[in-house]
């Protein structure tokens, strides 16, 4: 039988940090926290998704809905999570002392982080593989530059590929004759004994080697598909084949890098972040300068920035803008709460939130110039329009961009820098997700696990590595695509929506804004009140509806996954949602009703005794006796983040 918790007989000391409990770590300085936030927010999506969305949704015109959505939903949720985590100095599970009814939000966030970390590190492993290949190719060219390799097929082409979309049948026949192999030509001539000019489309269709609709591939495409992934050894998501030894090894290496960067928590990751957060900007600048010297770069830049104003009337454009802002800033993963929880109590997280959001936005725009300068060059040398070479996701960073690099002078050098940048972007986001998982568990059992956080980190990394092994099979890219499409979609939006409701409505705007005033010395203005309570939740609901309306089954290339695979995807969506709902039911029973479960725990407030003022003041941390002068829910006045306790107590007495 479940024990019902009564608040009346629980002393504050039950939840307090006592002697013998290892004190929680903190950032060595404010720069490390700020760079960690930048590194977390500025990830692979800024490079592989935003530029593609921008050109697809009206070029420069897309920036209007993008900035509006940043103001209406991106910045509000970002500041909310930073201030929430910094105030309580607790991980994603334990922080819901603020309202135990919503503790499932913490569970849901960590489930989302775990699923994302599993496939995200596989993408990092791909980048690591390309990086190592580039490193050993310095004495020659990169292996994806030519077609004469064991993994290439006769569909591989390095020369300019003619586009047949707008050709008439006669031109298609002529082009087919040019592309025929020797066997095909010989068989055709022997069969009819007449000139090729007499051949018609029907006749040619009888020769499979003379297919008019043959799909030609670039060397980089075949290198990624046939050598890196070995898709030829997998029939589809229903037949993943065996493990790819080289991918298993690089995935293991990626997790080893992650572990050693996090084994001492923020004390170690805070040092690594100087490189992983800053190095990508150096490479982006170098690649932009190089891109602007390539033939045809202007085609790509024009395609990227020229506004198509009529696109602003398309609801999908606004939906894409809101989704990109939402996913790039990374709320509801528990990572922002975790990183902020290691801050000093009075750190100016308000300033940090605004700066990181602006940096994230401008980095996305800047990365678009870098990407499309090279895509314009690709369009020039392959005699294709830009839209034919543009791509998003893994197809951009492992096929399209490497193909452009292969056509530059000294391709191994440019490939090395590009994939080192991708590795850095991926790791800085990965650090935050894994740290959120570790901190959530350690803070829930501080006396047992906090002294052994390094071992806990190892166990988490090992477990996530094991769960990621299906993604490094020969058909692992199908599983990765499925997880990418489903794991962070509806569940992420739902988790954020519940978080807004919990803090703005159930805990309440008045209390939450007073908590922020206690930290920062000023109360959030009406912009924050309006967005937190009404506008941002409404935008999230609209995104959910738009996402559902434009839903299409998950696919890889032209392969649409079977229904049972789509059901696996919906299972991933349901896990975080179920965690939230089931926990609500359990907490309601434990606390004797929903109303009691929604009330804050007696120990809710700043984790450090020296930061507990006003209604959070405790005379004796060991005995748990509250300062009777501050039992009222009415917060005392603050000046520069310090409670005016003497005056307030005199007035109360």
Binding residues for Na(+): 39, 41-42, 46, 328, 360, 425, 429
Tell me the CA distances in angstroms from 485 to 89, 114, 322, 432, 552, one per residue in order: 33, 15, 17, 21, 10
Coil vs helix vs strand at 294: coil
Coil vs helix vs strand at 57: coil
Binding residues, as ranges, are 39, 41-42, 46, 328, 360, 425, 429
Coil vs helix vs strand at 217: strand
Q: Per-residue b/e over 157-178, b at no fewer than 16 CB within 10 Å?
A: bbeebbeeeeeeeeebbebbbe
Residue with tokens 């392959």: 382
What are the backbone angles phi and psi of residue 243, rounded to the nearest 5°? -80, 140
β-bridge mates for residue 243, sequence order: 473
How far apart CA 175 and CA 183 sit, in angstroms, is: 17
What crossing angle do the helices spanning 266-291 and 245-262 adopt, rounded to 10°?
120
44 CB burial (10 A radius; 0-12, 13-18, 19+): buried
Give the single-character DSSP code of 101: G
How far apart CA 462 and CA 456 sit, in angstroms, is: 10
| CB contact at 8 A, 478 and 556 | yes
220 CB burial (10 A radius; 0-12, 13-18, 19+): buried
How do strand 618-620 and strand 559-560 relate by DSSP bridges?
unpaired
Coil vs helix vs strand at 546: helix
């Amino acid at each position: 039988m479940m024990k019902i918790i009564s608040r009346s007989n629980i002393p504050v000391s039950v939840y307090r940090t006592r002697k013998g409990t290892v004190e929680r770590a903190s950032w060595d300085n404010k720069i490390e926290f700020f760079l960690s936030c930048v590194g977390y927010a500025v990830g692979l999506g800024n490079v592989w998704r935003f530029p593609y969305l921008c050109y697809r949704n009206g070029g420069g015109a897309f920036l209007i809905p993008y900035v509006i959505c940043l103001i209406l939903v991106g910045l509000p949720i970002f500041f909310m999570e930073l201030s929430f985590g910094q105030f309580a100095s607790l991980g994603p599970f334990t922080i819901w002392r603020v309202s135990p009814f919503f503790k499932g939000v913490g569970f849901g966030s960590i489930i989302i982080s775990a699923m994302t970390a599993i496939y995200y590190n596989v993408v990092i492993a791909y980048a690591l593989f390309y990086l190592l290949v580039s490193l050993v190719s310095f004495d020659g060219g990169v292996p994806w530059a030519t077609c004469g390799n064991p993994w290439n097929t006769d569909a591989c082409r390095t020369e300019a590929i003619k586009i047949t979309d707008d050709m008439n049948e006669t031109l298609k026949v002529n082009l087919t004759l040019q592309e025929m192999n020797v066997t095909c030509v010989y068989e055709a001539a022997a069969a009819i004994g007449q000139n090729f000019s007499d051949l018609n489309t029907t006749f040619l269709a009888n020769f499979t080697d003379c297919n008019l609709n043959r799909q030609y591939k670039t060397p980089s495409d075949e290198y990624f598909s046939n050598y890196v992934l070995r898709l030829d050894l997998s029939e589809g998501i229903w037949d993943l084949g065996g493990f790819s030894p080289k991918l298993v090894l690089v995935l293991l290496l990626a997790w080893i890098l992650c572990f050693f960067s996090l084994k001492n928590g923020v004390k170690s990751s805070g040092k690594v972040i100087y490189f992983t957060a800053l190095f990508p900007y150096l490479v982006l600048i170098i690649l932009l300068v190089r891109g602007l010297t390539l033939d045809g770069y202007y085609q790509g830049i024009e395609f990227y920035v020229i506004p198509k104003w009529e696109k602003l009337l398309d609801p999908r454009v606004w939906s894409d803008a809101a989704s990109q802002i939402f996913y790039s800033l990374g709320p509801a993963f528990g990572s922002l709460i975790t990183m902020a929880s290691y801050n000093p109590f009075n750190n100016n997280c308000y300033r940090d939130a605004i700066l990181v959001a602006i940096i994230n936005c401008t980095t996305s725009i800047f990365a678009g110039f870098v990407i499309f300068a090279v895509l314009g060059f690709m369009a020039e040398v392959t005699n294709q329009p830009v839209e034919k070479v543009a791509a998003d996701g893994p197809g951009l960073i492992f096929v399209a961009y490497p193909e452009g690099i292969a056509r530059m002078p000294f391709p191994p050098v440019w490939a090395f820098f590009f994939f080192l940048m991708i590795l850095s972007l991926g790791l800085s986001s990965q650090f935050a997700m894994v740290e959120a998982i570790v901190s959530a568990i350690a803070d829930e059992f501080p006396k047992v696990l906090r002294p052994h956080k390094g071992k806990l980190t190892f166990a988490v990394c090992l477990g996530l590595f094991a769960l990621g092994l299906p993604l490094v099979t020969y058909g692992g890219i199908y599983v990765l695509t499925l997880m990418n499409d489903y794991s962070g979609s509806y569940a992420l939006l739902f988790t954020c929506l519940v978080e807004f409701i919990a803090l703005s409505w159930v805990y309440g705007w008045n209390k939450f804004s007073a908590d922020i005033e206690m930290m920062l010395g000023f109360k959030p203005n009406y912009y924050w009140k309006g967005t937190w309570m009404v506008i941002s939740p409404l935008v999230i609901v609209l995104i959910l509806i738009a996402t559902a309306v434009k839903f299409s089954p998950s696919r890889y290339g032209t392969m649409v996954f079977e229904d049972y695979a789509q059901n696996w995807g919906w299972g991933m969506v349901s896990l975080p949602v179920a965690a939230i709902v089931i926990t609500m039911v359990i907490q309601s029973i434990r606390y004797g009703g929903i109303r009691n479960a929604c009330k804050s725990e007696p120990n809710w407030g700043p984790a450090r005794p020296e930061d507990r003022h006003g209604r959070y003041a405790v005379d004796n941390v060991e005995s748990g006796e509250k300062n009777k002068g501050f039992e009222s829910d009415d917060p005392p006045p603050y000046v520069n983040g310090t409670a005016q306790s003497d005056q307030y107590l005199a007035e109360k007495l």
